């Protein structure tokens, strides 16, 4: 069985009762990208509408979710009054202005500020969804002293929600380091079912989340069980039959590896090691990591954001770029997940996606039980 199949058993499709095909199990997916959230949530919720502005991502979404109505348009043009009723609204809103790699223009900036459009659309709906979920990079809670999260939290409270943030790293499920912040908000009138919230911070609450959450009105310390220890490693997802760069290009790439990393590479005993090219002291270097886990996938904006693999071939090391299918595996997509378009399109579609097993875990242990309990309010 391939790793992707094993991984997605953690989505636990078979164990879930058939979702009710009504408002109580329906969800809206904003910033849907390639649709891994719709895929991950499918055992628990049915996507009744999805939106993204990117035509190439729309092609991936439509190839995998032919039955979901998809609106290819900017969220700024979405009229909430025309949307179907739903229990849950999910937004993996753009991270560029919050990510540590970006210029950090903040939650009012052009791209990450689209989160306000999401709330505007919710305001226009005849009835706001009882549950909201948002996903973003850790800068949402840690940048600017936590002020970005506080501003968003305040906006949720003003709309009648109570909310909390959690840090979930895909590395618990997949050989992929991808820490992300998930915010879950529910109608403040709702009594939270026993076992879904704690009195105090737990394993999902990083120092930044503890600092931002403490003392906020209508704050919830959500509780999820700790995931079981991951057994898969990077070599499980790598396709060793794919061609590497030729001797000359490999040699050039290997020459960019810092001497200390080259020594570790030789001593590592690993057959594949991932790395990114970065500029250090005005020089391009290929920095490797040795924990048998891929670095956080990013959307390729330039050559430096593609992840490299250094692969042992006989006595030699060769290099190549991670393939789109390997990127999809690192996101927990099944082998059957379609990636139409070019190599770059596929890589890009996966680069800023939500890791499916993480979304599925959140749905299984929190969103689905909340939706069941929200039934009486709906
Ligand atoms: C972080 S990604 C979300 C990826 C997605 N959840 C997935 O799993 O593939 C942010 C998405 O926001 C989309 N986006 C950016 N600007 C937008 C806009 N004005 N309206 C709608 N979507 C937009 C991007 O195309 C991108 O797919």
User: pLDDT at residue 13 above 60?
Assistant: no
User: Of all residues in the chain, what percent carry a pLDDT higher than 90?
Assistant: 84
Ligand 1 proximity of 33 Cβ (cutoff 6 Å): yes
**Nearest atom, ligand 1, residue 76 CA:** 19
Ligand 1 atom 5, closest CA: 33
Mean pLDDT of 372-376: 78
**Nearest atom, ligand 1, residue 75 CA:** 20
User: pLDDT at residue 179 above 50?
Assistant: yes
pLDDT band at 24 (very low <50, low <70, confident <90, very high): confident
Ligand 1 proximity of 182 Cβ (cutoff 6 Å): no
pLDDT digits (tens, 9 = 90+) for 94-138: 998 997 655 678 999 999 999 999 999 999 999 999 999 999 999
Within the chain, all domains assigned CATH 3.40.50.150 are found at 3-231+348-377
How far apart, in whole angstroms, are the C-alpha atoms of residue 186 and residue 129? 9
Question: For residue 293, what pLDDT is reported?
Answer: 97
How far, in Å, is the centroid of ligand 1 from the Cα of 373? Answer: 30
User: pLDDT at residue 16 above 50?
Assistant: no
Asked if 128 contacts 141 with a C-beta cutoff of 8 angstroms, the reply is no
Q: pLDDT averaged over the chain? A: 91
Ligand 1 proximity of 95 Cβ (cutoff 6 Å): yes
Asked if 101 contacts 41 with a C-beta cutoff of 8 angstroms, the reply is no
Say what the alpha-carbon torsion angle 27, 33, 37, 39 is, to the nearest 10 degrees.
Answer: 100
pTM as predicted: 0.93
The CATH code belonging to domain 3-231+348-377 is 3.40.50.150
Ligand 1 proximity of 92 Cβ (cutoff 6 Å): yes
By C-alpha distance, which of 286, 238, 248, 294 is closest to 264? Answer: 286
3-state secondary structure at position 168: strand
How far, in Å, is the centroid of ligand 1 from the Cα of 324? Answer: 18
How far apart, in whole angstroms, are the C-alpha atoms of residue 35 and residue 69? 12
Ligand 1 atom 11, closest CA: 31
Task: Determine the residue of 28, 30, 53 to mutate for testing ligand 1's pocket, defined as the one with the most ligand atoms within 8 A of the Cβ atom.
Answer: 53
User: pLDDT at residue 23 above 80?
Assistant: no
C-alpha 134: how far from chain center: 10
How far apart, in whole angstroms, are the C-alpha atoms of residue 89 and residue 50? 10
């Amino acid at each position: 069985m391939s790793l992707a199949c094993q991984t997605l058993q953690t989505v636990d499709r078979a164990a879930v009762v058939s979702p009710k095909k009504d408002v109580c199990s329906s969800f809206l997916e904003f910033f849907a990208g390639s649709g891994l959230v719709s895929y991950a949530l499918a055992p628990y919720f049915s996507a009744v509408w999805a939106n993204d502005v990117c035509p190439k991502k729309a092609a991936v979404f439509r190839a995998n979710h032919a039955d979901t109505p998809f609106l290819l348009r900017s969220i700024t043009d979405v009229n909430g009054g025309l949307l179907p009723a739903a229990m849950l609204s999910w937004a993996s809103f753009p991270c560029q202005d919050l990510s540590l790699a970006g210029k950090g223009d903040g939650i009012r900036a052009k791209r990450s500020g689209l989160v306000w459009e999401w709330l505007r659309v919710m305001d226009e709906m005849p009835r706001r969804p009882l549950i909201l979920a948002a996903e973003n990079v850790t800068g949402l809670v840690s940048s600017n002293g936590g002020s970005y999260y506080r501003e968003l939290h305040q906006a949720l409270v003003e709309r009648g929600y109570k909310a909390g943030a959690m840090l979930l790293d895909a590395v618990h499920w997949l050989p992929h380091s991808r820490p992300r912040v998930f915010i879950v908000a529910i109608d403040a009138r709702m009594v939270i079912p026993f076992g879904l919230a704690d009195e105090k911070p737990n394993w999902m609450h990083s120092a930044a989340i503890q600092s931002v959450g403490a003392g906020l009105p209508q704050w919830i310390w959500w509780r999820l069980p700790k995931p079981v220890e991951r057994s898969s490693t990077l070599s499980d997802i790598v396709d060793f039959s794919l061609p590497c760069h030729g001797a000359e290009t490999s040699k050039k790439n290997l020459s960019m590896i810092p001497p200390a990393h080259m020594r570790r590479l030789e001593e590592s005993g690993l057959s594949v090691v991932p790395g990114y090219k970065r500029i250090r002291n005005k020089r391009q270097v290929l920095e490797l990591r040795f924990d048998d886990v891929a670095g956080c996938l990013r959307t390729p904006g330039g050559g430096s954001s593609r992840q490299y693999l250094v692969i042992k071939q006989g006595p030699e090391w060769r290099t190549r770029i991670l393939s789109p299918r390997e990127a999809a595996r690192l996101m927990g997509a099944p082998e059957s997940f379609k990636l139409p378009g070019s190599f770059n399109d596929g890589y890009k579609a996966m680069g800023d996606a939500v890791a499916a097993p993480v979304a599925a875990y959140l749905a299984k242990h929190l969103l689905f039980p909340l939706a069941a309990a929200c039934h009486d309010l709906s």
